[in-house]
A and B are shown apart, each in its own frame.
Chain A
């Protein structure tokens, strides 16, 4: 099959690139091996740092950081584009692109992020604030006492949902009868506080309806607290973004194991997807590589040899043989700087192909953990790579 542009990777950066390009009327394919890490994330969009203002954090990022190839306006526009898309989809994300906020986590500590799904609109609890927690009988990995230990004037109620996994409870919430009985139970608890925190299980598909219903019925304000994976807010984020891409006409190749590619001089012609039976070939005028870093499988480290897994691109890394002698779990390990070096046009630096553009956490110097810029960087570089790819095929 022949497409205008093929995007490899269906995480945040790949999907955002595909949506942007499909809106321009181009014929786009997204090729992915499986679901992305995005679907087990907290569902929040980190933009930069932990300070009050995001753009001030970016100012002190090192010059090599991918954000510096886009600039403040480019970053802000991309994130605004994301906010607009989610609004159109009916799954609003809230927050000020220029500001960070602190939201409550299951261990009672704060986590800094910037844009949050509407379910976490009220998750920025003030220190000492009084609120209520609703938990579930036997629920895995959610212990309200972590929170009550820090917020001492917090009440807790426990509901027996008849199941004990976050997926199971969220699926039940989508059912009207179950929701009604849950709402009736809340009313019987005579909760004093106005705000109610709840592990992130308020439905998989009908979250908007569920929150509206609960707030109208009980007169309370609800906010979700992200849980360990499986993470429902991450799943909702991924499914909504993918659904937007589908609506814009993007074609999806899933379970795609890319084993080979064809090139003519410096131009990539197609990629081969191996599977039982016949392989599939995806031809395109330009390719965007957004396969992520080590954990997503875009990069692979084998006995001190760094590999890029699709096109065997040169991988930059400041790490030498001392890799495992260092404090491995310390933030800012040099391993995090590893990735693909790019030029101003988001092409591979020097030895690159002329129709290949790179986006997302596979980029060298992105250090998403250290700089807390995960989804924000993915969105901004995804759009930036898409714009350069669009320019290229014109």
Chain B
């Protein structure tokens, strides 16, 4: 925690920024759920109630607070406590273990995708508290891990030692579950772009970042995932590799949660050496190591900024890069959360909140009549595609096209 919650002066700036408060009258907002209720919690009074799970952990309250209070962290701890005192619901169990589901789902992708589309299965979804009116993400057999069988998996590859140049950049890619199992093509584009700029790319063995488990109140499971990743990636850092991520929620977890709430031994090291893909490319460009030389792209694009990218607090790196693409007309939408928040949006109980926020976000994205909508986050893209016919893609595809790869 940056500073004590006692710094809260009840200005309600966090409330103004809370997407859930805006559309769900059952949720009292981050001020009350966070610092206000915390006073009672400190005295041991049980104020944790069911409404605490209405929070999506978008963290907009933390970014907005001018006094250094992090309401979302107080709320997360209360959520974990609430879940620990109640029986976990099936969706909570399911999404805590999303890592295994994604791995199995991809291995048996043909069957899984068939089953999840069946009417009977959709009924079962509803029965256990999952939404059946939105498509379940399709799993891909050719995952990033499976495709990269021959790729570098150790921090000291044999051939690597021979060609090791002093200033050579080496990037260990943290792809996360979605990019691996559901969107491996985008993962391949990222690797191709990095290699195009002469960066050596490794795809280390990795598990889920731990966020879905954390978000569903399973701290122990989340810590297990975090420990495993920390150990593996620390080996790479020790050999001079930088960690790169593209999924902004995985990235936020690695940088903010590994050293804090998940508290892994290597958390600080991981946090210091983890880079957003575009931030990294921008750094190399500023150091004069690479040049983009983009081809013109005559398109109107609306860019939906995922909450967890906004939380980095730096000028949006992809926006800075895309400004160099001739003829590109880029509009930024960072005021509204899409309301999906990973597993949150799949739960039947959150349907109204999720849908109301999705509609608001998509309306502002459509304001500029875009040819394409882009967003770094797979979950945001899934949500937005439920409300619009406009093509929605990962920004990496724009970069891939503009580089002429």
B314 and A253: CB pair below 8 A? yes
Asked if B272 lies at the interface with its beta carbon under 8 angstroms from chain A, I say yes
Determine whether the beta carbon of B313 is less than 8 Å from that of A254: yes
- Judging by beta carbons under 8 Å apart, are A257 and B315 in contact? no
**CA A251 to CA B313, docked complex, whole Å:** 11
Given A239-B335, A276-B255, A276-B259, also A253-B21 (CB < 8 A): no
A84 to B223, CA, bound (A): 54
Residue A89 is within 8 A (CB to CB) of chain B in the complex: no
Contact B315 A255 (CB under 8 A): no
Whether the pair A297, B12 counts as a contact (CB closer than 8 A) is no
> In the complex, which range does the number of interface residues on chain A fall in?
35 or more
Contacts of B18 in A (CB 8 A): 167
Q: Is A235 an interface residue (CB 8 A)?
A: yes
Interface presence of A61 (CB below 8 A):
no
**A36 / chain B contacts, CB cutoff of 8 Å:** 66
**Bound Cα distance A204, B260 (Å):** 35
Asked if B63 and A276 make an inter-chain contact with CB atoms under 8 angstroms apart, the answer reads no
- Kindly identify, within residues 227 to 276 of chain A, every residue whose CB is under 8 Å from any CB belonging to chain B: 229-230, 235, 239, 246, 251-257, 273, 275-276
Partner of B15, one of A1, A167, A246, A251: A167
| Contact assessment for A34 and B65 in the assembled complex, using a CB-CB cutoff below 8 Å | yes
Interface string of B233-249 (1 = CB under 8 A from A): 00000000000000000
| Docked CA distance A1–B364 (Å) | 30
Is A167 a contact of B9 with CB atoms below 8 Å? Answer: no
A174 lies within 8 A of chain B by Cβ: yes
Q: Which residue of B lies closest to A296 (CB)?
A: B66
Q: Which residues of B contact A255 (CB under 8 A)?
A: 62-63, 311, 313
Chain B residues within 8 Å of A1, by CB: 286, 315
Instruction: Looking at the assembled complex, report how far the CB atom of A5 sits from the nearest CB atom of chain B, in whole angstroms.
Output: 15
In the assembled complex, A277 has its CB within 8 A of some CB on chain B: yes
Question: Which residues of B (234-291) have their CB < 8 Å from a CB of A?
Answer: 255-256, 259-260, 271-272, 274, 286
Alpha-carbon gap, A223 to B401, bound state (A)? 50
Chain A 144-168 interface 0/1 with B at a Cβ cutoff of 8 Å (1 = within): 0000000000000000001111011
Asked if A39 lies at the interface with its beta carbon under 8 angstroms from chain B, I say yes
In the complex, which residue of chain A has the Cβ closest to the Cβ of B364?
Answer: A205
Picked from B2, B23, B272, the residue with its CB within 8 Å of the CB of A277 is B272
Supposing A40-B13, A167-B21 touch, asked if A35 and B64 sit within 8 A by C-beta, the answer is: yes
Could you tell me if B313 and A275 are in contact, using CB atoms closer than 8 angstroms? yes
Select which of B23, B274, B332 is within 8 A of A168 by beta carbon. B23
* Complex interface: chain A residues within 8 A of B274 (CB): 277
> A residues within 8 A CB of B44?
none
A–B Cβ pairs within 8 angstroms, 18 of them: A32-B66, A40-B11, A40-B12, A163-B25, A167-B21, A229-B16, A251-B320, A254-B63, A254-B313, A255-B313, A273-B313, A275-B313, A276-B256, A276-B271, A277-B274, A278-B272, A297-B66, A297-B67
